[in-house]
Structure 1
Amino acid sequence: MSFQIEIGGGGAHVFSAAHAGIHDRTLEPLHGHTFTVTVRLHGDPDGTGMVLDFRRVKEGLREVIEPLKRRTLLPETPVVGTCHVADGRVIVECGDDWYSFPRRVVALLPVPNTTTEELAGYLLDRLMPYVDGAPGIDRVELVLAEAPDTRAVASVVLAKATA
């Protein structure tokens, strides 16, 4: 029998952050969201009846979310324009638009754009070390909601270990 386990969706798995995505080759106005993260683990239980120890994933979620809390999320190398650090500031430029932030309030991310989809994929990549090695897991999904009616789902299908 296969199961789906959900972890997150509230409490420590919620964070507020600002971003300015790039749409149609222009930088959108800076704005923020209160993001909610949920992880879905799909798989078969082991001999003890567990798909995976929840504590491991909860710890992982806290660790990957913490650096993004109350930060402005920006791409290190944007899909269009530039982002650079100089004199303790982060400057993002795209066409005629630009923003300048104190470095301490910015999380520079290895994504081309800070869309909800890219952020979901980034978080899932960072979470995978906490899930890898669980023999019964065959799929991991990370749901990132930026609003009650808007979310992106990133997923990874894992090869099951054969005995």
Structure 2
Amino acid sequence: MMLEIDGWKVGLKFSASHFIPSHHKCSRLHGHDYGVRIRIYGEAKDCILYDFVDLKKRVRKICEELDHHVLIPLSQDYITHREEGESIIVEFGGKRYVFPKGDVFFVDVKLTTAEELSRYFSERIVEEVNFPANVKGIEVCVDEGPGQGACYYTPMGE
């Protein structure tokens, strides 16, 4: 059995800017309107797999944390970043960006790709939600617009 939540239709969305240093075109600062889609797999218990309302509330909180921020990868594998006063300095490939500290959200990823953001969301959800034993897996998709995104699957209860 599968439970599905389409973030585009139920408001699990956020707008943010980012860059991908390892990709020529995407190395320029740009933004997206992201949508988060979730699938929960398992067996229904008392005719219910998991509570839609609880899951939407928790995912909405994560979306709100990222909304209207510049997403910077916490990893410094591809970029360097440092704090100077009230600013965050980001450097890579001869580029230097200075952002107000309050405009930045550090994401625990190597790069802020849809692939890595879907993993980030999946890990956060699994950390924060105490899924019952009947839930066997969660798939989280982060779209950079309707019809274009990446998904990450986390098995559970095994």
Native 8 Å contact 1:27 1:97 kept in 2 = no
Q: How far does residue 77 in structure 1 lie from its aligned partner after superposition?
A: 2.4
Q: Higher Cα Rg: structure 1 or 2? A: 1
Question: What residue in structure 2 maps to residue 28 of structure 1?
Answer: 27
Question: What residue in structure 1 maps to residue 85 of structure 2?
Answer: 87
**TM-score normalised by structure 1 residue count:** 0.88
Matches within 5 A, 1:54-93: 54-93=52-91
Question: What residue in structure 2 maps to residue 53 of structure 1?
Answer: 51
CA distance in 1, matches of 2:128, 2:74: 25
Moved over 6 A (4+): none
Match of residue 139, structure 2, among 141, 145, 152: 141
CA distance in 2, matches of 1:130, 1:110: 15
Q: 1:52 to 1:6 in 2, by over 3 A?
A: same
Native 8 Å contact 2:18 2:31 kept in 1 = yes
Q: 1:146 to 1:86 in 2, by over 3 A?
A: same
Superimposed CA distance per residue, residues 19-76 of structure 1 (whole angstroms, 9 cap, x where no aligned partner): 0112159970000000000110011000x21001112211111111111001110012
Q: Can you give the 5+ residue segments of structure 1 that lack an aligned partner in the other structure?
A: none
Q: Does 1:39 align with 2:38?
A: yes
**TM-score normalised by structure 2 residue count:** 0.91
Question: What residue in structure 1 maps to residue 123 of structure 2?
Answer: 125
Q: How far does residue 103 in structure 1 lie from its aligned partner after superposition?
A: 0.5
**3-state SS of paired residue (2:11):** helix
CA distance in 2, matches of 1:30, 1:128: 30
CA distance in 2, matches of 1:4, 1:26: 37
Superposition CA RMSD, Å: 1.8
CA distance in 2, matches of 1:50, 1:79: 43
Match of residue 107, structure 2, among 109, 129, 144: 109
Q: Among all aligned residue pairs of Structure 1 and Structure 2, give the percentage whose two residues are the same amino acid.
A: 28
Count how many residue pairs are aligned between Structure 1 and Structure 2. 157
Superimposed CA distance per residue, residues 98-139 of structure 1 (whole angstroms, 9 cap, x where no aligned partner): 211000011011211111111111111111135433121111
Native 8 Å contact 1:75 1:83 kept in 2 = no
Question: What residue in structure 1 maps to residue 95 of structure 2?
Answer: 97
CA distance in 2, matches of 1:26, 1:77: 21
Native 8 Å contact 1:77 1:83 kept in 2 = no
